[in-house]
A and B are shown apart, each in its own frame.
Chain A
């Protein structure tokens, strides 16, 4: 049976109860992103060291420059359109249904990899206390050096997260905030104590001068370093549950950009001044714990504490993946991009049980597949992660530019700096630079990631097949977009977000436009 196409698909009209509760505070919004990003640094440090050697800080810096642009773009978009869906929603609104779906499926790839990768990383940090598990490996037919125990631990954690997310996430948000704060103090302490008591600039200079990687290796490292900066997407996914999102999100996003930059640049500079890059590259599963152990006075304790915190923070990041995937599918179903089957709610726990189980299952398959690749299991997952992130970011930049032209009336509490006025529209110069940078980064990913260049596009094509099948079965346009009243939606969004000042500003802008159009018609 063909489903009915609503003229204004999306959010509830003012006055009706909203689906998601606005329970996320300023700190909650920040830690939502930080739980993701803080964990990314834990994971990426060893991998980037392994690829960029003495030039690791440069790789983080290069990725950081692209990340700042992405951050600015997401800050503008999330504060203007404070709804769940993130990049998928912006592309849907700016570029149409099919591009919204492509961005959404790229993000789904990332969220599922996020679950698999960070569950494996969490298990890796747990194994800091169990070196025997760390060293374990077995050959299974054509697959060499598989760490079956590590794989089993990762799968167990995925199942644990799946069960937790079916039971509810209210408490996990508080847990997120607490662990986020403790982790920041811990990470900050490692950096401060490390720079004070162990860091030697001559060691950094020596490694930088004598241990420089090849160009291809360096670019590969940059594309891996970009995973340290994934997390802004999580803030925008939580936008629909954030109090006063249009006011709070620009602050939390900008704070997150600079806090993450501080951490992401401090860690490699600190590492190269304390240990050889090989030390961290060999410990790709728990690099921060290895680094903390090398700090005098507190090293004996810092190593253990960093390992415990590493295990918890990356587990929370994996949890963000489960939550992110369910919100994304919620948004995609709402806009007729995916079947409403994914939105079935558990009768007792009121959680999207099907999407939680389905995407946790996908993550488990990805984890198994990666562990089959042997000792470089995490590297294999990062291969696919970078593809999804860069594609979604690139499309989001294009959507940003398109929305500046198509929807100049929506108030933007934050605007990307540097804009030029063309035919009455403000074109973001940095947004254009960001689009070029991310498409370049996507090229680098395709060039340097042997697996990513096949698995990434393969994933998108698979989901496009599902999309066309669903649209065809329900009598919805396949290549065109479903008609929607975006203005009515925007009023509902701002009303439910209680952003009344922006609501009045929006109504005023529409009234002025209508007045101008009326004058034009009268003439």
Chain B
């Protein structure tokens, strides 16, 4: 006797085989193993929930903003954008400086538009201080900042130093991790 194959039976048999093999293939391909040191590095970056980015309105500083957004996008970090107007010691701290303040607001606005592109929460902080570096370190302390991202210029300053006074103070006095982004000269 030759048994006849019913089309519905054949379809069920095919469905059964395909489903079974697909499930087993998926099961036998688990994600890669993460060793202890790698896990620590991964999670410590993931723990960065507040990133402070000082800006001076120049392209290298704005690149720092973009970098901060990329580093904070997975964990939805808050980006705090800051512009510090340095007031010389010869003048009172509260002296009107409309031009400098307008320049600062414009720089913050541009930086904020970069953050908006990533959909991350942000704050704009415009401050006056005698030394920008000290003020940035103070903000980082007071606001529980996890990381400062500092875009620096490509060319050495007048004294041939790569890190200016502000960067140097931030590096010395900041309570958190500091990432310095220096582009090659051609950029």
Residues of A that sit less than 8 Å from B by CB: 26-27, 30, 184, 188, 191-192, 195-201, 244, 247-248, 251-252, 254-255, 258-259, 262, 266, 269, 273, 296-297, 498, 500-501, 503-505, 507-508, 511, 515
Contact B47 A508, beta carbon cutoff 8 Å = yes
Task: Give chain B residues whose Cβ lies under 8 Å from the Cβ of A192.
Answer: 13, 16-17
Of B3-11, B61-69, B76-84, B108-116, the segment with at least 4 beta carbons within 8 Å of chain A is B3-11
Contact A196 B9, beta carbon cutoff 8 Å = yes
Contact A26 B27, beta carbon cutoff 8 Å = yes
CA distance in complex: A266, B43 (Å): 45
B28, CB-defined interface residue at 8 Å: yes
Task: Give chain B residues whose Cβ lies under 8 Å from the Cβ of A262.
Answer: 16, 19-20, 23
User: A201-B9, A255-B26, A255-B27 given as contacts; is B20 within 8 A of A500 (CB)?
Assistant: no
12 A-B pairs, CB-CB below 8 angstroms? Answer: A26-B30, A30-B27, A195-B9, A196-B5, A196-B9, A199-B6, A201-B9, A255-B26, A498-B33, A500-B34, A505-B43, A508-B46
Contact A504 B43, beta carbon cutoff 8 Å = yes
CA distance in complex: A26, B31 (Å): 12
Q: How far is the CB of A259 from chain B (nearest CB, A)?
A: 6
Task: Give chain B residues whose Cβ lies under 8 Å from the Cβ of A254.
Answer: 27
CA distance in complex: A297, B46 (Å): 61
Complex: chain B residue closest to A187, CB-CB: B20
Contact B27 A188, beta carbon cutoff 8 Å = no
Task: Give chain B residues whose Cβ lies under 8 Å from the Cβ of A259.
Answer: 20, 23-24
- State which of B1, B23, B28, B42 has its C-beta within 8 Å of the C-beta of A501: B42
B40, CB-defined interface residue at 8 Å: yes
User: A255-B23, A255-B27, A501-B42 given as contacts; is B3 within 8 A of A191 (CB)?
Assistant: no
Chief secondary structure at chain B's binding surface: helix
Q: How far is the CB of B126 from chain A (nearest CB, A)?
A: 26
Task: Give chain B residues whose Cβ lies under 8 Å from the Cβ of A255.
Answer: 23-24, 26-27
- State which of B8, B12, B20, B44 has its C-beta within 8 Å of the C-beta of A188: B20
In order of increasing CB-CB distance, the 7 nearest A-B pairs are A504-B43, A500-B39, A255-B27, A195-B13, A199-B9, A501-B39, A195-B9
> Which B residues from 58 to 110 make CB contacts under 8 A with A?
none
Q: How far is the CB of B47 from chain A (nearest CB, A)?
A: 5
CA distance in complex: A471, B49 (Å): 47
Task: Give chain B residues whose Cβ lies under 8 Å from the Cβ of A188.
Answer: 16-17, 20
Cβ proximity bits B35-62 to A, threshold 8 Å, 1 near / 0 not: 1101110111011000000000000000
Task: Give chain B residues whose Cβ lies under 8 Å from the Cβ of A507.
Answer: 43
